[in-house]
Structure 1
Amino acid sequence: MLRLSNFGPHARLLGMIILWGASWPAGRIVAQAMPPLAAASLRFLLALLVLLPWMYRSGGFAQLKDWSLQRWLGMGLAGFFGVYAYASLFLSGLQYVPAGKAALLITLNPVVTLLLAVWLFKERINTIISLGMAMAFVGAIIVIAQGDPRHILQGHLGLGEVLILGCVACWVAYTLLGRWVMTGVDALSATTVTAAIGAVLLLVTSLVVEGPAGMQATLHSGWTAWGALLFLAFGATALAYAWFFEGVKRLGAGAAAGYITLVPVVGVAISALLLHEALDASLLIGGTLAVLGTVIMQRGRR
C-alpha cells in the first residue's frame, strides 16, 4: 500500500513521464517549423534560466572550484554527447520521423548501455535481463523496419531513423561517461554544467552552419512552435529533471528508473492524440515488445 508520505514523489514521477513523453510530439512541432540547431540552442539557453538559479540556491557553485581538469574534460565530453549531439540529432531526426516512432526507438538506450557496461565495466547480467534485452531489441527492429526486417538488411534505412539511432548512441555515451566523471557530483550540478556546455556549442554551431538567418527564422516562428519550444525548455528539461531528481532522492534510483520505461508509451499516445499519427501494426507490436523488454530488464536488475 502506498504511504501518503510517498504520494508526492510518485505523483511528480508520473508528471515527469508525461513531460518527457510529450517532448517527442513537441519536438516534432519545433522541428517542422524551426531550424534545428537554433531551436536546440534556445531550448537549453532558456532552460538555464531555471537551472542556474536552482544550482546556485543549492550551493552547487561552491564545488566547481574544486573540480580537477580531468573532471572538467569529462563534463565537456558529457555536454558534447548528452546535450550538443543528442539535441542536434533529436530535432533533425524529428524532421523526418513521426514522434511516436522516434519515442519507441529510444527504448534501445538501456539495451545498448547495458551491453557496453558488460563489456567495459564487467557488469553482470542474468537470464531475466537477457530476455528483456532480446525483447526490446526485437521490438525496436520491428518498429524501425515497419514489420519487415529485410528493409534493414537491404539498406533501406531512412535518414530520420539514422538520426534518431544517433540519439541512442549519444545518450549511451553520455550515460557511460557519467560513470567515469560524475562520481561524487550531484545530479543537478552535472545537468546544469553539461547543459551550459551544450548550449554554447549549439549556439556557435547554429551561427556557423545556419547563419544569423537561422536564429532570425526561429525567433519569427509561429506561436505554436514557440509554445512547443518553451515546453521543451521549461517543462521537459527544467521541471522534469527537478521531479526526476526528487524521485531518485526520495524513492531511490530503481523506482525512478522504473517510471522511465513508461515514457515511450506516453510519447506514442500523446503523438497520436495531438498530431494524429497513425498507429499501424508494426508500431503497436514492436512498441509493445520494446516496452515490455525494458520493463523485464528493470525487473531483472532489481
Structure 2
Amino acid sequence: MNLQKTLGPQASSHLRLIGMALLWGASWPAGRMVAQHMPPLAASGLRFVLAALVLLPWMYMAGGMGQLKTWPTRRWLGMAAAAATGVFGYAAFFLSGLQHLPASKAALVITLNPVVTLLLAAWIFKERLNRTIGLGMLVAAIGAALVISHGNPLQLLSSGVGVGELMILGCVVCWVSYTLIGRAILTGVDALSTTAVTSTMGAIMLLLASLLVEGPQGMANAVQAGGVAWGALLFLAWGSTALAYAWYFDGVKALGAGAASGYITLVPVIGVICSALWLGEQVDASMLVGGALAVAGTAVMNWGRRQPAALAGAARAG
C-alpha cells in the first residue's frame, strides 16, 4: 500500500507532526528521569548546549548566519529576552518542577499555556476572542484546576498550590512571555534562527546560573550521572528540542500554522501515557477527568481561532 496515495500528498508532513507530538509528549517522563539524577540548572544548561550543537550548524546550512550581522540592537535585545523566558526560565522551572511532581500531572498542568497566552494577547494586542474560544478557555481552565487540586478546586483557596505545581505554573508564565515577546519584537525572524539563537543564549544563562547557585559540584554531579539520566538528557536535547522543532517547522511550512498547532493538543495525552508506561505513574480519576477537559478545551480554542479565517475566506469567495 502506498502511504502517500492513502493519506494524500502531504502525508509525510502529517507523520512528522505526529512524531513531533510524540517527542514533546515523551519529554515529560524523560525530564522526570533527568530531574531525579541531576541538578536542574546544570542539566538544563547541558541540554541546550547539546541542542545548540545541532541547531547552529542547521542554521548555517540553511543560510541563516549571514543575517546576524544585520540585526539591529533591538532585535538582539528581543532575542535575549526570549532566551531568558522561553529557554532559561522555562527549562529551570521544568526540571525543578519535575523534582517534586509526577511527569503525567505536570504534562496536564501545562495545558494552561494557550489559555493564558490568548487572554494576554487579547489584552495587549487587542486580539479578538469569540464565544467558541471563550468556551474552550473555560473548559481548559476547569480541567487544569481539577488536575492541580486532585479533583477538589476549592482546596486551592484553603491550602494553596504545592511547590511542584508552582514550578510548572512558572513554566506557563515563562512560555507565555516567550510567545508574546516573539510576537511583539521578533516579527520577521524565521523560526529556525529564533530557536538556534535563543537556545545558545539560554544555554549560556543556564550554565552561569548553575555555577552561581549549584556551584562547580552541580556540573560535576550532572556529568557523573548514570547512563539512564544521560540517555534521557540526550533525548531532551536532540529529540524533544532539535528534531521535534525540525518536524514542527516542516509542518508549519507545508500545512500552515493552524493545522500544525492542532497536533500540539496531543502532547499532554502522550505525556500521560508515556509516564504511565515508562515510569509506572498512577493516573487517578481527577487526572483523567481534568486532563480530558483540558485537552478538549484546547481543541475547542484551536477550532474557535480558525473560525474567523474560514469566515473571511468564505466572504472573499462569495
TM-score band w.r.t. shorter chain: over 0.9
Indicate the SS of the match to 2:187.
Answer: coil
More displaced, 153-162 or 256-265? Answer: 153-162
Matched, 1:47 2:32: no
Q: Shift in Å at residue 182 of structure 1?
A: 1.6
Matched, 1:210 2:214: yes
Q: Shift in Å at residue 65 of structure 1?
A: 1.0
Counterparts in 2 of 1:82 and 1:2: CA distance versus 1, 3 Å: farther
Q: Shift in Å at residue 149 of structure 1?
A: 1.3
Matched, 1:252 2:292: no
Equivalent of 2:128, from 98, 114, 124?
124
Aligned-residue CA RMSD (Å):
0.9
Q: What per-residue deviation string (whole Å, max 9, x for no partner) do you get for residues 252-293 of structure 1?
A: 001110000110000000000101111101000000000000
Indicate the SS of the match to 2:9.
Answer: helix
Residue of structure 1 in register with 2:172 after alignment: 168
**Amino acid corresponding to residue 86 of structure 1 in structure 2:** Y
The separation in 1 between residues aligned to 2:30 and 2:290, in whole angstroms, is 23
Could you list the runs of 5+ residues in structure 1 that have no partner in the other structure? none
What's the TM-score, normalizing by structure 2? 0.94
The separation in 2 between residues aligned to 1:126 and 1:5, in whole angstroms, is 33
Equivalent of 1:75, from 71, 74, 79?
79
Residue of structure 2 in register with 1:226 after alignment: 230
Residue of structure 1 in register with 2:201 after alignment: 197
Counterparts in 2 of 1:2 and 1:251: CA distance versus 1, 3 Å: farther
**Amino acid corresponding to residue 97 of structure 1 in structure 2:** L
What's the TM-score, normalizing by structure 1? 0.99
**Amino acid corresponding to residue 158 of structure 2 in structure 1:** Q
Indicate the SS of the match to 2:36.
Answer: helix
**Amino acid corresponding to residue 199 of structure 1 in structure 2:** A
Residue of structure 2 in register with 1:58 after alignment: 62
Q: What per-residue deviation string (whole Å, max 9, x for no partner) do you get for residues 184-234 of structure 1?
A: 100000001110110000000101111111111111111100100000000
Indicate the SS of the match to 1:5.
Answer: coil
Residue of structure 1 in register with 2:287 after alignment: 283
The separation in 2 between residues aligned to 1:171 and 1:293, in whole angstroms, is 19
Over 4 Å off, 4+ runs? none
Matched, 1:113 2:112: no
The separation in 1 between residues aligned to 2:186 and 2:263, in whole angstroms, is 23
Residue of structure 2 in register with 1:90 after alignment: 94
Q: Shift in Å at residue 150 of structure 1?
A: 2.3
Q: What per-residue deviation string (whole Å, max 9, x for no partner) do you get for residues 61-110 of structure 1?
A: 11111111111111100000000010000000000000010000111000
Q: Shift in Å at residue 4 of structure 1?
A: 3.2
The separation in 2 between residues aligned to 1:23 and 1:2, in whole angstroms, is 30
Q: Shift in Å at residue 131 of structure 1?
A: 0.5
Q: What per-residue deviation string (whole Å, max 9, x for no partner) do you get for residues 17-56 of structure 1?
A: 0000000000000000000000000000001111010000
Residue of structure 2 in register with 1:140 after alignment: 144
Q: Shift in Å at residue 114 of structure 1?
A: 0.2
Question: How many residues of Structure 1 are paired with residues of Structure 2 in the alignment?
Answer: 302
After superposition, residues 257-272 of structure 1 pair within 5 angstroms as: 257-272=261-276
Matched, 1:188 2:184: no
The separation in 1 between residues aligned to 2:152 and 2:9, in whole angstroms, is 48
The structure number with the bigger radius of gyration is 2
Percent identity of equivalent pairs: 63
Q: Shift in Å at residue 3 of structure 1?
A: 4.8
Matched, 1:103 2:107: yes
**Amino acid corresponding to residue 187 of structure 1 in structure 2:** A
The separation in 2 between residues aligned to 1:59 and 1:294, in whole angstroms, is 36
Indicate the SS of the match to 2:189.
Answer: coil
The separation in 1 between residues aligned to 2:152 and 2:161, in whole angstroms, is 12
